[in-house]
Structure 1
């Protein structure tokens, strides 16, 4: 191989870019794969539904009584 004519140096630079892109891809993929998801409690779901207007105030109070008991 001829190291001094510049061809090897250019290809070496391309391979560094390829490995960096592959590394970033795997890092993002695996970090999102092992991310712990928070599970909502029933009371949080009830509050969210009330805030969105999916249930009325009376339905909210009744369901909250059931959950608290």
Structure 2
């Protein structure tokens, strides 16, 4: 993302829309992008759309204890 757009919530909005689309369509998400992965680690309510093999990093996440 260009520096001029950083900090405006655009990245989070994109991830959130992807989660909503995945739920609506019955799809699963594999967050390969480090930003998307960090967003998933911060929002447990999105974990229902994560692809099964990504559950390990979710469980090992530092955010799990929060």
Structure index of larger Rg: 1
Higher RCO (CA < 8 A, seq sep 6+): 2
